[in-house]
Amino acid sequence: MNDLALPETIQSILDKHIEPDAVFSAILPVVGDVLGCDRCFLYLRNPQTRLGKVAYCWRRHQDIPDMINSEWNLEPVSLPEEDPLFAAALRTEASVYVEDVETASPKVVNKEFERKNFGHRALIHAHLCQDGQLWGILQPCVFGEKRIWSDFDHAVMTQLERELTPLAITYVTAEQNSM
């Protein structure tokens, strides 16, 4: 199922745009719609400097918190201890599909951390990794109710990880070189 063709609405963006900014800006709303999510954001980071930012965020409506942070910030040293999802991403483990933040194992999710920082109830923590390094996290999520992620959702996200990782690397490298 992981080799299923991407939905046409997503594939057409990947076919039409080359520049990471154009792809990311266009694709997040479509991913949100295709997966039936409330918010979808993209956290980008430089694995060497540990500088990161949420450069792109789509929200279904204005009541959902916007995650955009236009400044590169140093990731707190304590973040992997506070956030098991981020620790898994740093270890370049498989992406994590959380059906319910409220009932998930504390080994997978720090419920209080998620409530305080994100407010969502269910999420996909998709790791954009290459050569053992984390370059970004794509995070579609749902508010207010749990969500069982389907085989289709998994297939779309697996393919998006492959498609978006090189673009994340290009974006981060260009941004960091211009600083």
- The pLDDT, as a whole number, for residue 178 is 76
Q: 13-54: per-residue pLDDT in tens?
A: 999 999 999 999 999 999 999 999 999 999 999 999 999 999
Residues spanned by the domain of 150: 8-177
In angstroms, the CA 51 to CA 3 distance is 33
- Please say if the pLDDT value at position 1 is more than 50: no
Domain count for the chain: 1
The structure's pTM equals 0.95
Of all helices (H) and strands (E), which one includes residue 97? strand 96-98
Q: What is the CATH number of the domain that holds 171?
A: 3.30.450.40
Any alpha helices (H) in 19-150, and if so which ranges? Answer: 20-35, 79-82, 84-90, 111-117
Structural domain includes residue 151? yes
Joined together, the tokens standing for residue 32 give 């949100």
**pLDDT band, residue 5 (cuts 50/70/90):** confident
- Please say if the pLDDT value at position 2 is more than 50: no
- Please say if the pLDDT value at position 172 is more than 90: yes
Structural domain includes residue 58? yes
Structural domain includes residue 3? no
Structural domain includes residue 106? yes
Structural domain includes residue 1? no
Largest CA distance in the chain: 43
Residue 42 CB burial class (10 angstroms; 0-12, 13-18, ≥19): buried
Q: 86-140: per-residue pLDDT in tens?
A: 999 999 999 999 999 999 999 999 999 999 999 999 999 999 999 999 999 999 9
